[in-house]
Amino acid sequence: MFDGTDSPLTQTFGLGMEQVVTAAQIERLEEFFQDLNAPVFHECSPLADPSAVAQLNERSYEPFEFTSVMFRPIVRRPRGGQSGPGPGSPCGCRGERALGRDFSPGLERIAGDFRLHAELSRVSAMKTSGHSFLAEIDGEATYTAHAASIQVSKSPGVPMLIGRVEDVKPSEITPESLYMNRRAWIASAASGVALSGLAHGVQAQEPAAIGKPYGLQPDDKPTPWTDVTTYNNFYEFGTDKSDPAKNAKNFKTSPWTITVDGLAGKPGKFLLEDFIKPSTVEDRIYRHRCVEAWSMVVPWRGIPLADVIKRAEPMASAKFVAFTTLMDLRQMPGQALGVLDWPYTEGLRMDEALHPLTLLATGVYGRPMPNQNGAPIRLVVPWKYGFKGIKSIVRLTFVEKQPKTAWNISAPQEYGFYSNVNPAVDHPRWSQAKERRIGDFLRRPTLPFNGYADQVASLYAGMDLKKFY
């Protein structure tokens, strides 16, 4: 069944074959399945960009079946001066059979790429005397090749029927003993061997979460270190979730200077260690909700922002605190892109900044802040969407008027200044009523103020939260 190249069905059965796979694409496909209350799975082509496999691994996908069909674009050769789809073909498709060929060398390469045994790929591949199918889709030629691909799923064991039963001869059926051995091998591989080592930043042993829980629900468990440190939004290092872990490896964070200025009685420039030293460093476990409708539970380490504000002695006219990220094109390649008006800026109303929950985080999981998470110091405001958590801060400025912020400048109709987590106010392009907890299969309801309403709702008493979103 073909429903166009933009269809989730088409994309999930050919993940990575038409374009480089992005985290946003995978999230959209997951939403498609979840909205139907169906198991999430994709067919991953060996011809896909290698980053596709890394992203699937980061999102806890596991291999559960080998299949035998994939396709990729090939050079189109017009026949008889004709171009475009054939007459009477639905969706602009027409096709013809092409001669088969032996794909065994390719299978061995594929098996190596996916840490799979070559014999298993050959068992599941179709016979070499089979035919591949050549088709034109909206004027672009593609072909299917009888080479093994891998189906990955967050719920291994989803049954599939591939091919026409009447075309299968008894001599072509895999013996039951070999099939069961293969299934047993897949089950063991799914425990983490098959795709191990492909995600960036994966460590052999997960550190334990430490700290006092704040606002956690009974079913909230700390998100694993691997997910916290490889699934990141940090556009200064790229727009895909896996980009920061790859591109921030050599980011220099020492020495680091923070400027405190504006309407302050005690402004100044401080080395990071002097900036932190007067305060007591705390470990706190917070809920984290991204505006993209996914969430985590993160064990942060840091100092209360209120400590810094009180030391700076802001003037009575200072109603807001503005924050600025480092601007460094040499170290932050994403700043060369026109995604945002750089450097990244954020802001809080003074009472929000002084709230006891507002944290300047310097670490995660009891360790120094990883570069990809906002090293060496970032803002954490657990009742607001994650983009308020500005990273790699170099300046705090006390101002009288509401400061401009990066995402509000970029898309004011989508990202407001306050950006409080609110399931009753949808993003213009998606619902905020539910969220996908990283590592979970089913979506969960989003809580007002991300579960911190008892502590912070009074800050917004009398405000129209739909207007001041």
Task: Fill in the DSSP letter of residue 337.
Answer: S
Asked if pLDDT for residue 47 goes beyond 70, the answer is no
Q: What is the pTM of this model?
A: 0.60
Amino acid at position 438, single letter: I
Domain boundary among 193, 224, 240: 193
Asked if pLDDT for residue 108 goes beyond 70, the answer is no
Indicate whether 184 and 280 sit together in one domain.
no
Residue 307: C-alpha distances to residues 40, 377, 458 (Å): 46, 15, 22
pLDDT score for 84: 35
Q: Given pLDDT bands bounded at 50, 70 and 90, which one contains residue 57?
A: confident
Q: Given pLDDT bands bounded at 50, 70 and 90, which one contains residue 18?
A: low
Q: How far apart are CA 354 and CA 356, in angstroms?
A: 6
Q: How far apart are CA 451 and CA 3, in angstroms?
A: 40
Determine what percent of the chain is predicted with pLDDT higher than 90.
55
303-328 confidence digits (pLDDT tens): 999 999 999 999 999 999 999 999 99
Token couple for 381: 């405001």
Cβ contacts of 336 within 8 Å, gap of 6 or more: 329
pLDDT score for 11: 64
Strand pairing of 212-213 and 282-289?
A: parallel
Selected residue with higher pLDDT from 19 and 301: 301
407 within domain boundaries: yes
201 within domain boundaries: no
Indicate whether 104 and 45 sit together in one domain.
yes
Tell me the average pLDDT across 242-260: 97
pLDDT score for 178: 37
Indicate whether 293 and 186 sit together in one domain.
no
pLDDT score for 319: 98
- Greatest mean pLDDT among 35-49, 55-69, 80-94, 267-281 lies in 267-281
Tell me the average pLDDT across 190-204: 34
155 within domain boundaries: yes
pLDDT score for 201: 35
pLDDT score for 46: 57
pLDDT score for 465: 95
Residue 317: C-alpha distances to residues 287, 308, 347 (Å): 33, 18, 16
How many residues are listed for the chain in this entry?
469
Selected residue with higher pLDDT from 181 and 222: 222
Indicate whether 391 and 359 sit together in one domain.
yes
Cβ contacts of 81 within 8 Å, gap of 6 or more: none
Compute how many other C-beta atoms are within 10 angstroms of the C-beta atom of residue 416: 18
Asked if pLDDT for residue 431 goes beyond 70, the answer is yes
Q: Given pLDDT bands bounded at 50, 70 and 90, which one contains residue 10?
A: low
pLDDT score for 44: 67
Indicate whether 233 and 130 sit together in one domain.
no
205 within domain boundaries: no
Domain boundary among 135, 163, 193: 193
465 within domain boundaries: no
pLDDT score for 159: 31
Q: Dmax over Cα atoms in the chain, in whole Å?
A: 86
pLDDT score for 366: 96
257-300 confidence digits (pLDDT tens): 999 999 999 999 999 999 999 999 999 999 999 999 999 999 99
405-422 confidence digits (pLDDT tens): 999 999 999 999 999 999
Indicate whether 140 and 15 sit together in one domain.
yes
Q: Cα angle vertex 376, ends 277, 263, to 5°?
A: 65
Tell me the average pLDDT across 337-356: 97
Indicate whether 277 and 419 sit together in one domain.
yes
Burial of 289 (0-12, 13-18, 19+ CB in 10 A): buried
Q: How far apart are CA 147 and CA 198, in angstroms?
A: 22
2 within domain boundaries: no
Average pLDDT, the chain: 75
Residue 312 contacts residue 336 (beta carbons within 8 Å): no
Q: How far apart are CA 107 and CA 117, in angstroms?
A: 10
pLDDT score for 60: 74
Q: How far apart are CA 383 and CA 357, in angstroms?
A: 9
Tell me the average pLDDT across 29-40: 76
Selected residue with higher pLDDT from 219 and 101: 219
Residue 445 contacts residue 434 (beta carbons within 8 Å): yes
Indicate whether 363 and 304 sit together in one domain.
yes
Q: Long-range contact list for 414-419, CB < 8 A, 24+ apart?
A: 415/291, 415/387, 416/468, 416/469, 417/347, 417/468, 418/384, 418/460, 418/465, 418/468, 418/469, 419/291, 419/384, 419/385, 419/387, 419/388, 419/469
| CATH code where residue 258 lies | 3.90.420.10
Query: Nearest Cα to 208, choosing from 196, 192, 184, 224?
Result: 224
Query: Nearest Cα to 276, choosing from 294, 301, 251, 239?
Result: 301
Ramachandran angles phi, psi of 459, nearest 5°: -65, -25
Domain boundary among 160, 193, 226: 193
Considering Cα of 400, then 406, then 410, then 415, what sign does the dihedral take?
negative
Indicate whether 259 and 375 sit together in one domain.
yes
Residue 203 contacts residue 210 (beta carbons within 8 Å): no
Indicate whether 168 and 233 sit together in one domain.
no
468 within domain boundaries: no
322 within domain boundaries: yes
Query: Nearest Cα to 285, choosing from 309, 302, 273?
Result: 302
Q: Which domain holds residue 76?
A: 8-193
Considering Cα of 312, then 313, then 317, then 318, what sign does the dihedral take?
positive
Q: Given pLDDT bands bounded at 50, 70 and 90, which one contains residue 101?
A: very low
Number of domains in the chain: 2
Indicate whether 64 and 149 sit together in one domain.
yes
Tell me the average pLDDT across 117-130: 34
Indicate whether 286 and 434 sit together in one domain.
yes
